[in-house]
Amino acid sequence: MMTLYSGTTCPFSQRCRIVLYEKGMDFQIIDIDLFNMPEDIGVMNPYNRVPILVERDLILYESNIINEYIDERFPHPQLMPADPVMRARARLFLFRFEAELFSQVSILEAGNAKLAEKARTLIRENLVQIAPVFVKQKFMLGEEFSMLDVAIAPLLWRLDHYQISMPKPAAPLLKYAERLFSRQAFIDSMTPSEKAMRK
């Protein structure tokens, strides 16, 4: 059985929880308090961060690596595209999400007011740029829910929490976000602390 060490408010951990629930398989989630990390986290992950996935003698960290492993190990429903070209494109998108969006999340969580304002602006601008995609399609890659939707969902859920207000042109993106939030796996993935992030 897979065990996920998961931060109760960590957006990266939530990604992994979403994938586990989408797959509907047997797994165990161990909630980790991010402000009081147990010592064995540093033993399993040299970066001393969650999420960490343990299955028998395999230990994985970094949410995108964990999620691709789960997707390959339990192919139904498939979350990464089957076609190598589309899969490479999806990986490039995931890389860009990390570089352009999620790199700002750690700044917001660090709590430096001046840097946080800049981070909010960068996230807002990047999200406004992708909003038009959702005028024509339901999800990031078209009509099918995929790993890209998994990757961005925790950030969209936390927009209020991070005090990021979205302008009018972002309306299609916000409608897309509601589609993600209404999925059963997303609802099941949330911890009480995450539920409390939105009014």
In tens, the pLDDT along 134-155 reads: 999 999 999 999 999 999 999 9
Q: What is the dotted CATH code of the domain comprising 2-78+189-195?
A: 3.40.30.10
56-72 pLDDT, tens per residue?
A: 999 999 999 999 999 99
Q: 4, 30 in Cβ contact below 8 A?
A: yes
Average pLDDT over residues 43-50: 94
- Of 1, 5, 3, the closest CA to residue 40 belongs to 5
CATH 1.20.1050.10 residue ranges for the chain: 84-183
Of 71 and 199, more confident:
71
SS3 28: strand
Cα Rg of the chain, angstroms: 16
**Can you list the positions of beta strands (E) in 10-57?**
27-32, 52-55
Question: Do residues 12 and 101 touch, judged by C-beta distance below 8 A?
Answer: no
CATH architecture of 84-183: Up-down Bundle (1.20)
155-194: buried (b, 16+ CB within 10 Å) or exposed (e) per residue?
bbbbbeebebebeeebebbeebbeebeebebbeebbbeeb
What predicted TM-score, i.e. pTM, was given to this entire model? Answer: 0.96
Dist. CA 131–CA 79, nearest whole Å: 21
Model confidence at 35, in pLDDT bands (50, 70, 90)?
confident
- List where CATH 3.40.30.10 sits in the chain: 2-78+189-195
Helices 147-157 and 171-181 sit at what angle, rounded to 10 degrees?
A: 100
Q: Cα 141 to the chain's mean position, in Å? A: 16
Tokens (6 digits) for 11: 């957006």
pLDDT at 110: 85
Q: Which range among 34-43, 110-119, 152-161 has the greatest average pLDDT?
A: 152-161
DSSP state of 167: P
Which is catalytic among the residues 4, 10, 29, 66? 10
Tell me the two tokens of residue 22: 């989408």
Question: What does the block give as tokens for 199?
Answer: 């009014």
10 is catalytic: yes
Identify each DSSP E strand in 46-152 by its residue range: 52-55, 58-61
47 Cβ partners below 8 Å, 6+ apart?
A: 61
Distance (Å, rounded) from C-alpha 25 to C-alpha 164?
A: 34
